[in-house]
Structure 1
Amino acid sequence: MEAEVARLRDELSKKEQEVERLRAVSAHLQQNSYSGNMFALVKQLTEVPPLEEKSLSKEEIMRYSRQLIIPELGVKGRLGLLDYDDVELSNLQRQVLHAEDKVGMSKALSAATTINRLNSNVECIPYHFQLNYKNAKQLIQQYDIVVDCSDNVPTRFLVNDACVLSGKPLVSASALRMEGQLTVYNYNGGPCYRCLYPKPPPAETVTNCSDGGVLGVVPGILGCIQALEVLKIASGIGSSYSQQMLIFDALEARFRTIKLRPKQPTCAVCGENPTVKELIDYERFCGSAATDQCRTLHLLTGEQRVTVQEYKQLLDQDVPHVLVDVRPQVEVDICHLPHSIYVPLAKLEEKNAEYVKLLQNNINLSRKEAAADIVTFPVYVICKQGNDSQKAVKLLQEILDNELCSLSVKDIQGGLMAWARKIDPTFPQY
């Protein structure tokens, strides 16, 4: 009951902060807004009825002169930007349209302001809401080319299906850690996303930038190539990746191209007898949320988990236990609780003998030092967000099978980031 009250208070606090933020920017949103799953749409101006024709000014001709003299390229275009999120400090490492003074502001407002500062002649139409199966088709039908830089599986399926049903090419790219990939779907008879990935992967197997990290220049490189493909398609030159995928390895500084399977006759959306004729609820279809934030897994029962408040109470009472930190070494180097022992999830998955022995030795030592009346010795597992710790609890149940009758293995909900938010505001968040 106390945990539920704490959760509701935390949600209420976040809602109050959101209300204050919206009040602060609402006056500006009438003029500018941008939205950033980093999902962008591009349409040629000549095909949009509300736009009036106009000739380039002397200054504009000078500005675009190096581009205008290329025979294949024209001079008109409309840019639509869709993002539901706000600027966070962690965005600034790679999302260069935003700056430190825009942290907490709508990404719509922040990006549109920057774009207009760079070039006041660009018509940038912002959309500050989350794309879903109810609004995607209506929006995408207004544009000629769709660019997907989203960081979650439900959005990728949603955008793909909306593009196929609307007959629009989709320039798609993704980046993680020091790798990236790019391709163009549904263009010139090429495959769509579903041709390659008919079914979504299990939610717990998907890693996004919030979970796995990304080197800032990697999405920058992929984004530049995406922009190039958009220009080539819009001008009629054509894409280089309609039936190929570009793979970028930043660590080795190498690009390679692989040939994709052709358009599949059995594809559920673009095949000969499609079963997907209208957009569906893609969060339900994929079993995960359509956001770029860290996903929340639910692999354990309530009895196998404790809140950070409950764990803090355990520390205050000096209850003997073992705390296992299962994050990668690089994250442990950033921050950790001083009384934790380091046993990375990857080593548990391998059932690495060295780390299993380290864990068992720590448990045995702590158990000996504990009071004799402790029947079931507690072991707690922690990670960054409370996802990997759940996986680790399941693995420990297998590895420590012979000792489980005298051990209680639980994970800490929300991990170290919940600890930083709710227990120790001086603890680093990353």
Structure 2
Amino acid sequence: MLTPEERRRYRRHLQLPEIGEAGQLKLKAARVLVVGAGGLGCPVLQYLAAAGVGTLGIVDADVVDESNLHRQILFGPADVGRTKATVAAEVLARLNPLVATEVHAKRLDVANVRVLVEAYDVVVDGTDNFATRYLLNDACVLLNRPLVSGAIYKFEGQVSVFNYQGGPTYRCLFPVPPGADEAPNCSATGVLGVLPGVVGTAQATETLKVLLNLGEVLSGRLWLFDALTFATRILKFARQPDQAALLLGTADPAAYAELCQPVLPTISATELHRALAGPAAPLLLDVREPHEYAAGHLPGAVSLPLSQLDARAAEVPATGPVVVYCQGGTRSARALERLQAGRGLENLQSLEGGLAGYEEGTV
């Protein structure tokens, strides 16, 4: 039964005969995994928490960057440098203390995707890269979980629900992954700040419809939105059995990492250790936030936080070897992408596994 506090909080839901107490109890018992606590994940998490979804899992290894603040509305200036998943959970606890959050401050990959997806009833994709979208799709197909997908680009957005009650999957709609030059992201192209709010709210709506078995779910239909004209369209698509083959579990895990991704030069912990002991040691560039750098860094490393990279890009030398590192490898890869796109630098390498991997590999 609902508690008196829950009855007061969810009164407007209870007044809807299509939801009522039975529906609210379904939401209370539901477990939803939100992958990505960025522009799309923020409104999804806010509305699902406010609606009373009992348990929300948050997957995101990234930290808050100042450039996130114009669209990722769970975060403020004081959160810059903190882990997004942790901050999001704190904000949701204040928004609705009646729901539980489970923080997964890690990158979704082949090694953990099955365990994470299997623990939840519905998965919401709020990521910004095709490799993760295909990985999530394959895990949801394998484990029979509905996947509520959203994507944004500049002024346009789209939403669909894949693998719902035997319906089409992501691969049915997009059977061939795009090439690296066809897969831009917000950091490279920009995005209207309010757009992820519109698209993320639509994803939250579809998630509630799936959980409550309400209305006509966007299964086999792709909702398209243009913020400049406010035009919307719905494209219909069917399940393609020949496109439902699963890559997950049948191929080299590296195949996902290679999907749609530009090839970035990397250096392993062993190679860096050897290079630092040699006659032409590389310059070390630490792109973590200042408080992380102050807590410990590689000897001789120069601090250049990712949040300041665009303003200070000219400080990065164009000659001589430069190794960029962060805590786990995500931010350093992003720094390389920015520096390659902005200045065309070819003397950079990203440290595989970041500082954590280096310290583990050299103990």
Instruction: Give the alignment's TM-score, normalised by structure 1.
Output: 0.54
**Which runs of 4 or more aligned residues in structure 1 lie more than 6 Å from their structure 2 counterparts after TM superposition?**
334-337
Identify the structure with bigger relative contact order (alpha carbons < 8 Å, sequence gap 6+). 2
The count of aligned residue pairs is: 251
CA distance in 1, matches of 2:227, 2:132: 25
Shift of 1:240: 3.0
Q: Is the 8 A contact 1:80 1:126 kept in 2?
A: yes
Partner of 1:412: 345
For residue 241 of structure 2, give the secondary structure of its aligned residue in structure 1.
coil
Matches within 5 A, 1:327-406: 385-387=339-341
Q: 1:152 aligns with which of 129, 137, 155?
A: 129
Structure 1 residues 66 and 150, CA gap change in structure 2 (3 angstroms): same
**Which whole-Å deviations, capped at 9, do the CAs of 1:211-242 have from their partners, x for residues lacking one?**
11111111110000100101111011154310
Shift of 1:187: 1.1
1:181 aligns with 2:114: no
Q: Is the 8 A contact 1:386 1:414 kept in 2?
A: no
**Which whole-Å deviations, capped at 9, do the CAs of 1:43-76 have from their partners, x for residues lacking one?**
xxxxxxxxxxxx4332321111001222333221
CA distance in 2, matches of 1:249, 1:183: 15
**Which whole-Å deviations, capped at 9, do the CAs of 1:140-187 have from their partners, x for residues lacking one?**
111111100110111001000000000011110001111111111111
Structure 1 residues 280 and 62, CA gap change in structure 2 (3 angstroms): farther
Structure 1 residues 176 and 186, CA gap change in structure 2 (3 angstroms): same
**Which whole-Å deviations, capped at 9, do the CAs of 1:342-368 have from their partners, x for residues lacking one?**
xxxxxxxxxxxxxxxxxxxxxxxxxxx
- Counting aligned pairs with the same residue, the percent is 41
Structure 1 residues 279 and 93, CA gap change in structure 2 (3 angstroms): farther
Q: CA RMSD in A?
A: 2.7
1:63 aligns with 2:6: no
Structure 1 counterpart of 2:17, which letter? P
Partner of 2:80: 103
1:265 aligns with 2:241: yes
Please list every run of 5 or more consecutive structure 2 residues that lacks an aligned counterpart in the other structure.
29-53, 266-282, 284-310, 315-336, 349-363
Q: 1:83 aligns with which of 49, 54, 60?
A: 60
Q: Is the 8 A contact 2:149 2:161 kept in 1?
A: yes
Shift of 1:250: 0.5
For residue 266 of structure 1, give the secondary structure of its aligned residue in structure 2.
helix
Structure 1 residues 83 and 414, CA gap change in structure 2 (3 angstroms): farther
1:190 aligns with 2:167: yes
Shift of 1:335: 11
Partner of 1:39: none
Q: Is the 8 A contact 1:191 1:264 kept in 2?
A: yes
CA distance in 2, matches of 1:242, 1:215: 27
Q: Is the 8 A contact 2:210 2:217 kept in 1?
A: no
Larger Rg: 1
Shift of 1:285: 4.0
Instruction: Give the alignment's TM-score, normalised by structure 2.
Output: 0.63
Structure 2 counterpart of 1:151, which letter? D
CA distance in 1, matches of 2:119, 2:313: 49
For residue 103 of structure 2, give the secondary structure of its aligned residue in structure 1.
strand
**Which whole-Å deviations, capped at 9, do the CAs of 1:299-333 have from their partners, x for residues lacking one?**
xxxxxxxxxx9xxxxxxxxxxxxxxxxxxxxxxxx
Partner of 1:284: 255
For residue 146 of structure 1, give the secondary structure of its aligned residue in structure 2.
strand
1:232 aligns with 2:214: no
Shift of 1:280: 4.6
